[in-house]
Amino acid sequence: MNVLAPKPWTQDEFFTWAERQGGSFEFDGFQPVAMTGGTVAYAIVIRNLHRALDARLHGSSCQPLGPDAGVATVDQAVRYPDALVTCSKLELGSRTVPGVIVAANAT
């Protein structure tokens, strides 16, 4: 029996779909993947991480972003790290961040 595999989504299809959803999703390069929520402790760790990065990068052209800033990875996947650093010029309407130097998740 032959079964046709579903056609992989494109990034544009993912972004269009994700904008209409109530939850948070990443894109594995093939289909959406649901993201889970965090705890209060997790939120505090992320806040402290962003404060430390912001203080360290103060006065430079680099800035910390996340966790709502998308990063395009291998095979056009889109991930949303807890924190990332970029020194690239940003386009405010862009759905992904260019020139990411480092990206990290607290978990």
| 5 part of a folded domain | no
d(C-alpha 107, C-alpha 13), whole Å: 28
| 84 part of a folded domain | yes
Contact assessment for residue 87 and residue 102, using Cβ atoms and an 8 Å cutoff:
no
For residue 22, the model assigns a pLDDT of 85
Number of domains within the chain: 1
> Which secondary-structure segment (H or E) carries 49?
helix 40-57
d(C-alpha 61, C-alpha 101), whole Å: 12
Residue 11's identity, in one-letter code, is Q
Contact assessment for residue 29 and residue 22, using Cβ atoms and an 8 Å cutoff:
no
For residue 48, the model assigns a pLDDT of 94
Tabulate helix, strand, coil % of the chain (nearest 5): 25, 20, 50
| 94 part of a folded domain | yes
Residues sharing a CB contact under 8 Å with residue 92, sequence separation 6 or more, in sequence order: none
Domain around 57 = 11-104
Q: Rounded to two decimals, what is the model's pTM?
A: 0.84
| 4 part of a folded domain | no
| 50 part of a folded domain | yes
pLDDT in tens, 1-50: 566 777 889 999 999 999 999 889 999 999 999 998 788 999 999 999 99
pLDDT in tens, 60-98: 999 999 889 999 998 889 999 999 999 999 999 999 999
